[in-house]
Chains A and B, each alone.
Chain A
Amino acid sequence: MKELLIGNAAVARGLYEAGCAVISSYPGTPSTEITEFFAKNDDAYCEWAPNEKVAMEAAFGSALRGKRSACCMKHVGLNVAADPLFTMSYTGVNAGIVICVADDPGMHSSQNEQDSRHYAIASKIPMLEPSDSQEALDFAKLAYEISEQFDTPVLLKMCTRVAHSQSIVEIGERKEVTKEYTKNPHKYIMTPGNAIQRHPFVEERTKKLTEYAETSPVNRIEDGDDSHDFGIITSSTSYQYVKEAFGDSVAVLKLGMINPLPVKLIKDFAAKVGKVYVIEELDPIVETHCRNIGVDVIGKDKFSILGEFSQKSIEQAFDMADKTVFALDTDIPVRPPMMCSGCPHRGMYYVLAKNKITVLGDIGCYTLGAAPPLNALDMTLCMGASVSGIHGFNKAGGEETENKTVCVIGDSTFMHSGVTGLINIAYNQSNSTVIILDNSITGMTGHQQNPTTGYSIKGDPAGKVNLEDLCHSIGINSVRVVDPYNLEECERVVKEELSKNEPSVIISRRPCVLLKYVKPKKPLWVNPDKCRGCKKCMKFGCPSISFRDGHAVVDDTLCVGCGVCAQLCPFDAFESEVPVND
């Protein structure tokens, strides 16, 4: 059966067909849909873990017990999971483990542009890199074969364009795989004495995997038609751009296995084609390997180390004819993403901006509070860094910062890695104020459940972490809950907690307006007789409110009736009942 699937859905299908029995993941664009699609299967277990390290270790446990497992994450998630990754390379596996990691060249939805292929090299773990959905499915299945044959976890590297592009795939059948569990301390207890025995195994394994890479069908040469005096080594989505630009005219070495890289295959290809270009997004991994084995290539001198490629990058580099482009004279205003109409984060940000409070931020929808007109954030680094960071900020700033600095972190991000920072605040006693923006969902990645929501990935009732109890038990005495739709309450509580001489937590609680169970209220409207055009409501940055003909107007297709704008208006111009025209 043929289906049009995004790369992530194809990975999920491949994992499923290979008999994967347990997936544990943390959501992160562009990796999230792998786990979401897998969760649609009723005969395999699937979960959202609190973070990627927990997820990878859960996958390790499953494989140890004898069931094929996987964990999926975005590139920066692999940083969080790097600890188990490096030592799982030593233990190897019982049943196979596939670690799916999705890079985001071009940073469509990420805080950096790191190249995950470095991790494969550093941890000495094989990595496969598909270039479309069919390969995503096939490579996911192959990854388990390699994992069990060579006794190693296998990394499956996606990138945004492969993860989120739909192409046609052939669907197959599922095959169950179970391995016997037997106690094996020398292999699975990584004390120095045992690990020192495993390291030579890892080095030997890499040699065998290199042999495999020389002849594996995932690394293949496609002959050209003699019209070019060069050949191209490429992989992933770059392969598609090369084929788009050159068709079948140029000789290509298409690499599906990116670690370890073949040696003889590359040397033979270079000997055949003469001049060799390496076309790879982000860092010069293949290029450096070619140089290391004595093959002279042209790579980052000609193709950028930054961002995504396309067929245009290739056409420009090879001076192929430019296409005619229509250009307009009018400046088109940019359209950045923004917090939604009725977003509960906005009320709290308005209060913080109004009071000129320094705000250390975190990763999620609420990072959008950094944008105009609120300009509410001072810092965003990585998951959990707001809570750890405010501790250091206040230890350094003392009384000068303690009473006018807060940090903000979402419920899911707090569970991921904010809680450890809060333990540090409680333990080492900094006078810090932590605001948990609890919208009862993982928002930015598209609504995934988390340990605070009380529901599992399948929407079934699950364990629920009580944030108030958790904060109390850590040792935070002052824990307050506010409704971010109530500006007066938010302002009062923020001021009270900032003035206290002890650590405190404010939970700003209201569910995301996009959640299905949150029913929108009737839209407000602006009574033009009352509106005096003072533009106070415009400082709030609500996408439903715009300014036309001297007064504010509300877009009734967007407004969800949250009523926060009405609290800002000095003239009570926002009204809930629209007059009936007859």
Chain B
Amino acid sequence: MTKNIMIVGVGGQGSLLASKLLGRLLVDEGYDVKVSEVHGMSQRGGSVVTYVRFGDKVYSPVIEDGEADFIVSFEKIEAARYVRNLKKDGRIIVNTQQIDPMPVIIGSAVYPSDIITEMKAKGINVDDIDALALANEAGSSKACNIVLMGRLAKYFDMPKEKWIAAIEKCVKPQFIEINKKAFELGYNS
């Protein structure tokens, strides 16, 4: 059975490392894996999405409406934008960080004030987490991505050590300690 994970956020937030970590972990576990992301224009501060699919045999590289087992969102309204991709019994992990898109900055649109409450009211399984605060606690605001991966790992039937091993393979040596700490903080949140 193929499992589907989406990572969504704002171009430049570091979703690439998160998908690299997942890819490494799942290949090491012996799964067939497909990871799909779009490069180019959207990386300039636009809305970005990465699809990670794994199982015995994976065909399509993309995840469609109602298909994601997990969505990991690096930003609040990006979670809302992609929640239609979530399976009925899926789970969405949301970093509560707010990053204003240009229409909000210039006043032509309003940033929704309570999107998390609305999602919960709709019966969606939402894990809201202040990943930025935990990343800062770990030693770098850039470690948000790994905090969120730590939170995701809680729902995987896979020893924590394997995630740590994958972090060590994917991160530059000087950042391993910060990222391991960020992972633990996310895992224990």
Contact = CB atoms under 8 A, between A and B. Distances in A.
Q: Which of B33, B106, B110 has the most chain A CB atoms closer than 10 A to its own CB?
A: B106
25 contacts: A2-B27, A4-B35, A30-B40, A160-B38, A161-B36, A164-B38, A165-B36, A167-B61, A243-B60, A244-B60, A310-B64, A311-B64, A323-B64, A323-B67, A326-B124, A328-B80, A328-B122, A329-B118, A333-B104, A333-B109, A336-B103, A337-B41, A337-B45, A340-B45, A538-B105
A339 interface: yes
B46 A29 contact: no
Chain A to chain B: the 8 pairs with minimum beta-carbon distance, closest first: A323-B66, A109-B40, A337-B46, A29-B40, A165-B61, A333-B109, A335-B101, A244-B60
B44 A324 contact: no
Contact of B37 (A164, A337, A371): A164
Interface string A314-339: 00000000111111111111111111
A510 interface: no
Interface stretch (B81-89, B157-165, B179-187): B81-89
A538 B112 CA distance: 20
Interface string A336-360: 1111100000000000000000000
B103 A334 contact: yes
A310 B66 contact: no
A330 B115 contact: yes
Contact of A165 (B35, B106, B124): B35
Contacts of A165: 34-36, 61
Interface in B22-66: 23-24, 27, 32-47, 58-62, 64-66
Nearest to B11: A337
Contacts of B23: 4, 166
Contacts of A334: 47, 101, 103, 109
Interface of B: 10-12, 23-24, 27, 32-47, 58-62, 64-67, 77-78, 80-81, 83-84, 86-88, 100-112, 115, 118-119, 122, 124, 141
Q: Which of B61, B66, B77 has the most chain A CB atoms closer than 10 A to its own CB?
A: B61
B110 to A, nearest CB: 7
A312 B65 contact: yes
B53 to A, nearest CB: 9
A241 interface: yes
A445 interface: yes
B100 A310 contact: no
A325 B61 contact: no
Give the bracket for the number of chain A residues in contact with chain B: 35 or more
Given A4-B33, A166-B23, A332-B77, A312 B42 contact: no
B42 A109 contact: yes
Interface stretch (A284-292, A470-478, A540-548): A540-548
A337 B105 contact: no
Nearest to A3: B27
B80 A546 contact: no
B67 A30 contact: no
B118 A330 contact: yes
B63 to A, nearest CB: 9
Q: Which of A322, A326, A543 has the most chain B CB atoms closer than 10 A to its own CB?
A: A326
Nearest to A314: B60
Nearest to A544: B105
A326 B83 contact: yes
A161 B33 CA distance: 15
A338 B44 contact: yes
B111 A108 contact: no
A47 to B, nearest CB: 21
Interface in A97-121: 108-109
B83 A328 contact: yes
A547 B107 contact: yes
A102 B33 CA distance: 23
B67 to A, nearest CB: 6
Nearest to B23: A4
Q: Which of A4, A331, A538 has the most chain B CB atoms closer than 10 A to its own CB?
A: A4
B39 A446 contact: yes
B151 to A, nearest CB: 20
A237 interface: yes
A339 B44 contact: yes
B46 A168 contact: no
A166 to B, nearest CB: 4
B139 to A, nearest CB: 15
B39 A29 contact: yes
Contact of A335 (B10, B34, B35, B87): B10
Interface string A533-557: 0010010010101110000000001
A127 interface: no
Interface string A417-450: 0000000000000000000000000001110000
A244 B38 CA distance: 20
B42 A167 contact: no
Nearest to B75: A335
Given A109-B42, A337-B11, A168 B109 contact: no
A336 B102 contact: yes
B45 A543 contact: yes
B86 to A, nearest CB: 6
A486 interface: no
A446 to B, nearest CB: 7
Contacts of A322: 66
B112 A164 contact: no
Interface in A475-515: none
Contact of A541 (B42, B83, B105): B105
Nearest to B80: A332
A524 interface: no
A129 B124 CA distance: 41
A306 B138 CA distance: 46
Given A310-B62, A323-B66, A166 B34 contact: yes
A323 B87 CA distance: 8
B37 A330 contact: no
Interface string A127-162: 000001000000000000000000000000000110
B119 A328 contact: yes
A323 B80 CA distance: 18
A331 B41 CA distance: 24
A340 B44 CA distance: 7
A541 B88 contact: no
Nearest to B66: A323
B58 A30 contact: no
Contact of A240 (B24, B59, B107, B111): B59
Nearest to B61: A165
Contacts of A407: none
Nearest to B45: A338
Nearest to B12: A340
Contacts of B40: 29-30, 108-109, 444-446
